[in-house]
Structure 1
C-alpha cells in the first residue's frame, strides 16, 4: 500500500498543525514538507523516517491516512 503523502500532510494541517510543526516532528525542514505537500519531493520513495513520522502524527491527531474512495 502506498501512502498518499500530500493528502496526509493536508489532513494534518486541517487538524491544526503547521508545516513547521510537521517537519520538526518527523525530523525534516519546513521547505521539504512544503515540497512533499505539493507532490514535488519525497512522495515516490519516501524514507522510513518520513512514513513512520507521518503515521505517528496521524494517529496522535486522529486524522485519516487515506483519501476516501
Structure 2
C-alpha cells in the first residue's frame, strides 16, 4: 500500500491540472467540469480542515473558470 504522502502528491498534481485547464478554457464545457471538480475539492478540504494552500487551491475562485474569455 502506498504512503499517504504519495497519494497526496498524485491528488495535488491532478488538482493542479484541473485548475490550469479550467482557467485556460474558461467559459467552456471543460471549464464547467473543472469548476465542479475544484468546488468539490474545496468542500472536502474544508470539511477535513485541510488548508487550501496545501492542495494548491489557495486564492482560487472556481467561478473564474465559468467566465468566458473576452474575444
Give the alignment's TM-score, normalised by structure 2: 0.36
More helix by share: 2
Q: TM-score, normalised by structure 1?
A: 0.37
Instruction: Using CA pairs under 8 Å that are at least 6 residues apart, name the structure with larger relative contact order, 1 or 2.
Output: 1
